[in-house]
Amino acid sequence: MTGSSLSTRFVHAGERRGAPAGVPASTPIYASSSFIYERVEDIDRIVEGEVSDFVYSRYGNPTVAAFEDAMAAIENGKFAIAYGSGMAALHAALLASELSTGSIVLASKDLYGSTFELLLTVFGAFGVKTVTEDFTDVAALRAKAFELQPRVLLCETISNPLLKVCDIGECSQIAKEVGAKLIVDNTFATPYLCRPLDLGADLVVHSATKYLGGHADATGGVVIAKEDFDKPALLGALTLAGGVLSPWEAHSILRGIKTLGLRMEKQCSNAERLANELRRSPQISEVIYPKFFEGEQAASLDNTFHGSEFGAIVTIRLADDTREASYRFLNALNLCTRAASVGDLFTGIVHPATATHRELSPKQREKIGVTEGLIRISVGIEDVNDIIADIEQALAVSTACGSERQKSAGTVEHTSAAATWKEI
Ligand code: PLP
């Protein structure tokens, strides 16, 4: 080390010892924004693209690269690019799809609410038009695609919270027929249930914040592509828009992926058992779970999921289909969390009408089936008997309190809840 004064040693002492001879068993967190080389010519060759290595973490970081390699491998893609969140990944996938003023995005009407907002506000401001269609109605989708000649078809493998399954093979066939790119948000299915690139999709997007990370401790996103020609645009969207994933988050998500198979296996079997139990409950009017699909939806499921499991989310509609009953149920839960996210290893339950679909008017929600008594359960890895017991006791509390209130009709709680409902 040059310079021996104490203040110089404070800055340089202990740093840059070089890599150990042994390869670390687990990818280290490379918490470094830049990388130093012996000769400036080395940096030049990397920046020029003649040599693949790391110079500056917005352009690439070894921990993030390990996560990207893992995603390309498990989604059967050519390469993957990581971003700071699922929304940043969706933004990048759309930016990389040659959209310009007058382009049309044909989007599934069951998309995550913020994805709609992204399309309408960010891309809409540049003259990109978004048209929605029911992607589970293949004939209607084909007719709309031929009529509009969209540049992009955008859907989710499993919709939230009604769990509609898109036939990805059919959607990709339609995209090819009209020369559009098919982007699939595979967050809810994960590659454990479905690999959209194998079924013809062009780009797969994940909110890694959900099942991939799985521990509610990291926010991230990723786009996986089938063809190399998408790389410059996806990298450009990363390095210029700058929504990079931090190496700390990449490390957490990479660790999460190691147990994705184990978690999904347990979560899917817990969900199936829970769905079967809840079907017997008189306090529930409908249990939505892909196992119970019939007709076209059952066929889409067969074509799209590669195993014999049905996912880890169960959606229920309370017999008392009101906000008051939903809140009583949610507030009575002792074990299951009232978490806003999905895909964590603990059971998380949300009220879609006031969470994921809050921005919609009551009429719009009613139209798409997101009624006040609809509840989404993201099933965790706990002992399923404990999950069932907690949900059953909360249903019992909710029903008992409901009957008490009905006896004293016109109570203050009922009036104030109704007022809140009208204000939204
Ligand atoms: N896609 C889906 C299906 C989601 O549910 C979410 C978030 O809930 C996102 C994308 C956005 O992900 P993130 O919160 O990581 O930005």
Q: What is the CATH number of the domain that holds 103?
A: 3.40.640.10
State the catalytic residues: 58, 112, 185, 210
Shared-domain flag, residues 319 and 391:
yes
Check pocket membership of 211 for ligand 1, CB cut-off 6 A: no
> What residues have CB less than 8 Å from 218, skipping those under 6 apart?
208, 209, 248, 249, 252, 253, 256
Residue 88 has pLDDT above 50, yes or no: yes
Mean pLDDT of 379-405: 91
Contact between 214 and 236 under an 8 Å Cβ cutoff? The reply is: no
Cβ neighbourhood burial of 64 (10 Å; 0-12, 13-18, 19+): buried
Q: Is residue 10 part of a domain?
A: no
Check pocket membership of 209 for ligand 1, CB cut-off 6 A: yes
Q: Is residue 250 part of a domain?
A: yes
CA–centroid distance, residue 278 to ligand 1 (Å): 27
Q: Encoding tokens for residue 392?
A: 């059953």
Q: How far apart are alpha carbons 72 and 51 in whole angstroms?
A: 21
pLDDT computed for residue 398 by the predictor: 87
Q: Is residue 7 part of a domain?
A: no
Q: Where residue 1 falls among pLDDT bands split at 50, 70, 90? A: low
Residue with CA at minimum distance from ligand 1 atom 1: 207
Q: Is residue 170 part of a domain?
A: yes
Q: Is residue 147 part of a domain?
A: yes
Shared-domain flag, residues 56 and 113:
yes
Residue 363 has pLDDT above 70, yes or no: yes
Contact between 131 and 150 under an 8 Å Cβ cutoff? The reply is: yes
Mean pLDDT of 116-121: 94
Shared-domain flag, residues 170 and 304:
no
Shared-domain flag, residues 75 and 206:
yes
**Stated pTM of the model:** 0.92
Q: Is residue 6 part of a domain?
A: no
Q: Is residue 15 part of a domain?
A: no
Helices (H), 33-180: 40-48, 62-74, 86-95, 113-117, 138-148, 168-178
Q: Tell which residue, 366, 288, 367, has the closest CA to residue 323.
A: 366
Mean pLDDT of 97-125: 94
Residue 34 has pLDDT above 80, yes or no: yes
Cβ neighbourhood burial of 70 (10 Å; 0-12, 13-18, 19+): buried
Q: Where residue 421 falls among pLDDT bands split at 50, 70, 90? A: very low
Question: How many domains does the structure of the chain reveal?
Answer: 2
Shared-domain flag, residues 240 and 294:
no
Residue 420 has pLDDT above 80, yes or no: no
Last residue of a domain, one of 257, 279, 303: 257
Check pocket membership of 157 for ligand 1, CB cut-off 6 A: no
Q: Tens digits of per-residue pLDDT, 233-259?
A: 999 999 999 999 999 999 999 999 999
pLDDT computed for residue 414 by the predictor: 32
CATH number at residue 328: 3.90.1150.10
Shared-domain flag, residues 82 and 202:
yes
Q: Tens digits of per-residue pLDDT, 302-344?
A: 999 998 999 999 999 999 999 999 999 999 999 999 988 899 9
Which residues sit opposite 223 in a β-bridge? 81, 205
Residue 415 has pLDDT above 70, yes or no: no
Shared-domain flag, residues 244 and 314:
no
CA–centroid distance, residue 173 to ligand 1 (Å): 26
Shared-domain flag, residues 249 and 286:
no
Q: Is residue 88 part of a domain?
A: yes
Q: Where residue 131 falls among pLDDT bands split at 50, 70, 90? A: very high
Shared-domain flag, residues 281 and 364:
yes
Check pocket membership of 160 for ligand 1, CB cut-off 6 A: yes
Shared-domain flag, residues 251 and 265:
no
Query: In percent, how much of the chain has pLDDT > 70?
Result: 94
Q: What average pLDDT does the structure give for the chain?
A: 93
Provide the residue range defining the domain that includes 337. Answer: 261-407
CA–centroid distance, residue 244 to ligand 1 (Å): 16
Shared-domain flag, residues 126 and 42:
yes
Shared-domain flag, residues 242 and 277:
no
